[in-house]
């Protein structure tokens, strides 16, 4: 289909808080680890290699959180594209839970309720809505036929649900690994 919009979703490389097992959410200042930079470089090389398959990105959008921006910088160097940041690609906000050890949160978070949110945070339904709004804008005015989006694990899961026409209660359970590229096709 000529009007198909291809999205290449890049999950940021490992951050210091990923390595420490801390809940990040929308905490803005968390940098990549050395391994995270390696993962980002590998994802960037994968984006650049897609040109040989005719799937070269023509635009590069990134979450404005540091770990994503650092990953996007690797992607920009590999593709020659400028990075445009947007808060629409941020991770789900976890409010007062951010910075706490993730293992402590399993009993505090209602993972089965897409409308649950921590104080000062964002529900999966709100994340899903944010991603759906971004995709509607991209469909209406695509910056290129193939767009690379550097983002976060829960945001990619929401993107997969939106692209499949599923609601926030049907988001995939599996989060892509750090530094991976997930391809989605959006019909007009």
Q: What is the phi/psi pair of residue 113, to 5°? A: -105, 110
* Catalytic-residue membership of 12: yes
Q: In terms of C-beta distances under 8 Å and separation of at least 24 residues, what long-range contacts does 49-52 make, across chains too?
A: 50/8, 50/146
Selecting among 73, 91, 98, 122, the annotated active-site residue is: 91
Distance, CA of 67 to CA of 11 (rounded, Å): 10
* Catalytic-residue membership of 73: no
Selecting among 12, 37, 128, 152, the annotated active-site residue is: 12
How many helices and strands (H and E) does the chain possess? Answer: 5, 5
- Terminal Cα-to-Cα distance of the chain (whole angstroms): 9
Distance, CA of 53 to CA of 83 (rounded, Å): 22
Catalytic residues: 12, 91
């Amino acid at each position: 289909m000529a009007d198909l919009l291809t999205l290449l979703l890049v999950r940021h490389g490992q951050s210091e808080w990923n390595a420490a097992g801390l809940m990040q959410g929308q905490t803005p200042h968390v940098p990549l680890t050395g391994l995270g930079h390696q993962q980002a470089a590998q994802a960037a090389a994968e984006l650049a290699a897609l040109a040989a398959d005719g799937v070269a990105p023509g635009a590069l959008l990134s979450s404005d959180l540091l770990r994503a921006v650092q990953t996007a910088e690797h992607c920009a160097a590999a593709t020659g594209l400028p990075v445009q940041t947007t808060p629409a690609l941020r991770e789900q906000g976890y409010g007062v839970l951010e910075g706490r050890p993730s293992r402590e949160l399993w009993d505090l978070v209602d993972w089965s309720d897409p409308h649950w949110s921590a104080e000062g945070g964002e529900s999966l339904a709100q994340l899903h809505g944010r991603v759906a709004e971004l995709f509607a804008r991209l469909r209406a005015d695509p910056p290129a036929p193939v767009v690379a989006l550097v983002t976060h694990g829960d945001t990619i899961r929401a993107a997969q649900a939106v692209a499949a026409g599923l609601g926030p209660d049907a988001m995939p359970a599996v989060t892509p690994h750090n530094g991976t590229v997930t391809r989605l096709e959006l019909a007009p």
